[in-house]
Amino acid sequence: MTKSTARQQELSFAIIGGGMAGILSAIKLRDAGYTQFRIYEKADRLGGTWRDNRYPGIACDVPSHSYCYDFEPNPEWSHTCAPGGEILEYFEKVAEKHGVTEKVVFGAEVSRLAFADGRWHLECQDGRKDVVDFVVAATGVLHHPRYPDIPGLDAFAGPCFHTARWDHSVPLEGKRLGIIGTGSTAIQVVGAITDKVGLLTQFQRTAQWIMPRPNPAYTEEEKAEFRRNPDAMRRIRDEQLDIFEHGFSSAVVGENPEALRAIEALTLANLEDNVKDPVLREKLRPDYQAACKRLIMSDNYYEAIQRPNAELVTDTIDRIEPSGVRTASGRLHELDVLVLATGFKVDQFLRPIEVIGYQGVTLEQAWIERPSAYLSVCVPGFPNLVMLNGPNGPVGNFSLIDVADIQLEYFLQLVACVREGEFRQFSATPEAAERFEAERVEATSKTVWVSGCRSWYLDDRGVPAAWPWSMQRFRDVLGSPDLNDFAVA
């Protein structure tokens, strides 16, 4: 055994989270020859957001052949955009095939990470402990449900739950169901259940631009061809990603005004052509530019909200009462079931884990103003820790699978330097992180996200907490670490 191989086998890793990025991390580590790793997953099942979100109508708004690992194309997708259950099944099958499942510690919620003596000391809520060289934070973004601050929310007498905690034991047939919210999740739910409930009342604070999304099923003949010829799937994937990158992605960051105008025209035509009632149409018409908020894709929402048993309420919610929702006009909307489609706390990342870095500085102290990270990957003062889909990354305009893959390859290049003995630990310098953040903030002024709307992309300053450049720039910048931007020891 060579010295290099021995060193490689000694390096150990803790992966926090068993969702899409956690599974990918385990596969990439093993492919690179590292075997000393565990995934710490607080639930009893893999899948991350696809495990937690099981609401009716859940689907991915990225085409199926693009929303999968490039090394594991899937010939069995049922539709162009797959439903959530299929995506969960896909990730679990990939994890089983690649031996990832056996490396998972289930029911292990990490409560503390402390860097001491050159290594990370990990503790779980149940008392389990570990000591590793590196931490991969694959904790996700859309993870911690956000509950609305509405007076009387706890007073509702019927079932009340967040979409990310959907209670499937609650019967919906014939019920009067209210849903608070108009984001992507709410749009999917309304499209899926309006024809099942007795009455659906959607409470809208902000209207949304909706892009038409035809979602045809793949035929058995097409799936058979995919099985025979995996290259056919890869060609579809490459075509879809190319269209997405040079169309939507470049449009929202200000690099392709023509594509943005095309998006605006499509969403406007979708509204004008498909909503016949002029009063309802005006309620559904946003007063901001298309794509300023996360653009919603749907092939059935406008049809669903126009059903005789559906009502869109734009009056402000005053309070929740035992029998329903009372709006500012004084009207009580009587309900049997109340659903909260109110999104997520998108600024949590590793939190609420207590993370203690170099010289006892905590992540809470480092993020006293707001979360930030060098290239969305590394936080100064927290050596040998990488964040996948971390702060200010390309969460709003790229495939998160591709983003995590690029970030992992970047991290593995730094780990290889440790393996080869060039240094034992690395962390981004404060100067590099500050420079990146200043450049990023300046670049956001050219994006559509600052064109005049409120969205979960915006931080407390009103600055988009996202990557404001092209996907190609993301690949280039993270293609090879600049060691001048790192403090090493």
Bridge partners of residue 115, in order along the sequence: 120
Q: Could you tell me the strand order of the sheet in which 337-340 lies?
A: 160-162, 337-340, 176-180, 199-203, 310-313
**How is 193-248 classified by DSSP, letter by letter?**
HTTTSSEEEEE-SS---EEE---PBPPHHHHHHHHH-HHHHHHHHHHHHHHHIIII
Cβ-contact 33, 8 below 8 angstroms: yes
Domains 3-46+100-144+345-488 and 153-216+264-340 share a fold: yes
Q: Which of 198-202, 390-394, 482-486 has the lowest mean pLDDT?
A: 390-394
Contacts of 267 (CB under 8 A, 6+ apart): 209, 210, 211, 290, 295
Q: What is the pLDDT of residues 1-22, one digit of tens each?
A: 344 444 445 899 999 999 999 9
Percent of the chain with pLDDT over 70: 98
Q: What is the pLDDT of residues 219-273, one digit of tens each?
A: 999 999 999 999 999 999 999 888 888 888 899 999 999 999 999 999 999 999 9
**How is 136-193 classified by DSSP, letter by letter?**
EE---STTSBPPP--TTGGG-SS-EEEGGG--TTS--TT-EEEEE--SHHHHHHHHHH
Contacts of 455 (CB under 8 A, 6+ apart): 292, 293, 294, 449
pLDDT given for residue 7 in this prediction: 47
d(CA 439, CA 441): 6
Q: What is the pLDDT of residues 414-436, one digit of tens each?
A: 999 999 999 999 999 999 999 99
Right CATH for 153-216+264-340 from 3.50.50.60, 3.90.950.20, 2.60.40.2250, 3.30.200.20: 3.50.50.60
pLDDT given for residue 241 in this prediction: 87
User: Does the structure show a pLDDT above 60 at 460?
Assistant: yes
pLDDT given for residue 73 in this prediction: 96
Contacts of 368 (CB under 8 A, 6+ apart): none
The pTM for the full model equals 0.95
Phi, psi of 279 (to 5 degrees): -70, -50
pLDDT given for residue 456 in this prediction: 85
The per-residue pLDDT of the chain, averaged, comes to: 94
Q: What is the pLDDT of residues 274-289, one digit of tens each?
A: 999 999 999 999 999 9
d(CA 54, CA 83): 10
Q: Where are the beta strands (DSSP E) in 272-342?
A: 296-298, 310-313, 317-321, 324-327, 332-334, 337-340
Give the residue extent of every domain in the chain: 3-46+100-144+345-488, 153-216+264-340
Q: What is the pLDDT of residues 352-380, one digit of tens each?
A: 999 999 999 999 999 999 999 999 999 99
**Hey, what are 375's tokens?**
């290239």
pLDDT given for residue 245 in this prediction: 84
pLDDT given for residue 397 in this prediction: 58
Q: Which of 98-112, 133-147, 220-234, 393-407 has the lowest mean pLDDT?
A: 393-407
Average pLDDT of the segment spanning 153-167? 97
d(CA 152, CA 322): 8
pLDDT given for residue 6 in this prediction: 40
Higher-confidence residue: 246 or 309?
Answer: 309
d(CA 227, CA 381): 48
Percent of the chain with pLDDT over 90: 89
CATH code of 3-46+100-144+345-488, in short, is 3.50.50.60
**Hey, what are 469's tokens?**
């450049």
d(CA 118, CA 167): 45
In this structure, the strands spanning 176-180 and 160-162 are: unpaired
Average pLDDT of the segment spanning 145-163? 97
User: Does the structure show a pLDDT above 50 at 148?
Assistant: yes
Locate tokens 């259950």: which residue?
A: 85
Task: Assess whether the previous peptide bond of 145 is cis (omega < 30° from 0).
Answer: no
Average pLDDT of the segment spanning 135-164? 94
d(CA 474, CA 404): 11
Question: In 11-134, where does DSSP find H-type helix?
Answer: 20-31, 49-52, 84-97
